[in-house]
Amino acid sequence: MSNRLRNQKPGSGIINDCNILGEITDESVDLILDEHLRDDIFSGKRKRKLKNITIKVDPLQVKAIKKLSTMKSIPYQTLTRSWLAEGIKSEMDAVLK
């Protein structure tokens, strides 16, 4: 652990620097889902079956993905799947134009 992190007082750091706590409110939030999406979710049709695959990736790229996922507070596999989905959609859009 770095000296900077070791010497920080509880409650200091990014939470105070970004005023994150000041953005939290007790107001209710209305979420609206498309009717078909809501029905699919409640009926269980939206359950995804994921398939394991194996690919060779440069270890530095894996480190970078893990670092970015930590910074975004999401698992690295989820981030990678998201990037794959975005790339596939982009390529499909380009091909179908």
Question: What DSSP string describes 56-85?
Answer: ---HHHHHHHHHHHHHHTS-HHHHHHHHHH
Higher-confidence residue of 21 and 1: namely: 21
Task: Compute the distance between CA of residue 94 and CA of residue 88 in angstroms, rounded to an integer.
Answer: 10
Higher-confidence residue of 55 and 27: namely: 55
Domain limits for position 78: 49-97
Q: Can you say whether residue 88 is alpha, beta or left, with left for phi > 0 and alpha for psi between -120 and 50 degrees?
A: alpha
Give pLDDT tens digits for 28-64.
Answer: 767 677 888 777 777 777 677 788 999 999 999 999 9
* Domains held by the chain: number: 1
Does the structure show a pLDDT above 70 at 82?
Answer: yes
- Listed residue (76, 78, 82, 52) closest to 64, CA to CA: 76
The SS3 of residue 40 is helix
- Average pLDDT of the chain, as a whole number: 79
